[in-house]
Amino acid sequence: MAIVKKFIPIDEVKAGMKTAEVVFNNNGNVLIWEDVVLDELTIERLKSIGVREMAIHIEQPQEISRRAYVDSPERFKLEYTLDLNKTKKMFQTIISGGNLEIEETDTIVESVFQKVDSNRNIIDSINQVRSIDEYTYYHSLNVSMLCMIIGKWLRLDSVHIKNLVKAGLLHDIGKAKVPLEILNKPGKLTESEFAEMKKHSEYGYLLVKNNGSISTEIARAILTHHEKEDGSGYPLGLTGDKLNLYSKIITVADIFDAMTANRVYKRKDTPFKVFELMQHGSFGVLDPIVLNTFLNNVTTYYIGSQVRLNTGEIGIVVFINSSNMSKPVVKVGERYIDTSISNIVRIEEFI
């Protein structure tokens, strides 16, 4: 038998079942964590506060047994490296003057899509050390995976989720048309260089728009993934009502992965710093439904993380407050430090 995740109505949930995802209330507060064995009292409480369905670990016949090795960290790392090399080849073919090889692209999409339930491995891969000079390849693959899990958290169907994988993978494909001396410049871009860099979304759109294997919705998302809800983005200055859902999802995934990565011109921020900027600094810029869905889910995977405080102490994150996700409660030895109320202690580094 293989263990899979399945959403089932609360009336069908039985004592002894184990949760497969965190359950939140309407305010974004955690009601029950992932991997908790349920009892009758807990189930009744969840019913009483309006929970209608939840994700449960279910045993299924061995016909889907390939999931067992896909979810293994070792297998995931191996396949991630293979997909990364294929992504690099996809870009280099275009840099060399070739066309987008859609069969090779679809191979990567299928490989990513089979990991749809590998949330923990995906989050861990985002946090890994990356080669700075190959940032674009890592970023494209990571954004495709983040788009996939955001789509899942939004309860989209498998067709839309697979489209999101492809859109995320190709969102920066236009950078293959940007000169490498601009793309990998270690210092600040000049005004003209920045103007050229900003054309990558248009270049990407032109690369895919006439490809019959890429839908209009995906092509449009590639074109508009730097647009913002308030119309302050580029290249068209569109407002949120003119953007499709794929574009809104890519924007959130793109920002999170970019800010948590070392770049040629800046060092990465800690995930907690990024949570702060996204939660409190993106009003009117990011779609609130997509953003809150992402933050309410992704932050739970950082509980148990080791962090270094500005005091030099090493601690473990034990609780994340949904109203202030960047300032969790950290356990140091036998002490609990609530960084949201401390004027002195803050997280310096994610370990």
The residues assigned a catalytic role are 175
Which DSSP string corresponds to 112-142? HHTTTT-HHHHHHHHTS---GGGHHHHHHHH
Show the tokens assigned to 132: 């700075």
Give the angle 294-300-303 at the CA atoms, nearest 5°. Answer: 145
Long-range Cβ contacts of 35-43 (<8 Å, 24+ apart): 38/13, 38/14, 39/15, 40/15, 43/10, 43/13, 43/14, 43/15
Show the tokens assigned to 178: 């940007």
CA distance linking residue 161 with residue 183, whole number of Å: 29
Question: Is there a contact between 349 and 306 (Cβ–Cβ < 8 Å)?
Answer: no
CA distance linking residue 265 with residue 251, whole number of Å: 21
Question: Is there a contact between 339 and 347 (Cβ–Cβ < 8 Å)?
Answer: yes
Q: Which residue has the tokens 């494909």?
A: 173
Question: Is there a contact between 221 and 150 (Cβ–Cβ < 8 Å)?
Answer: no
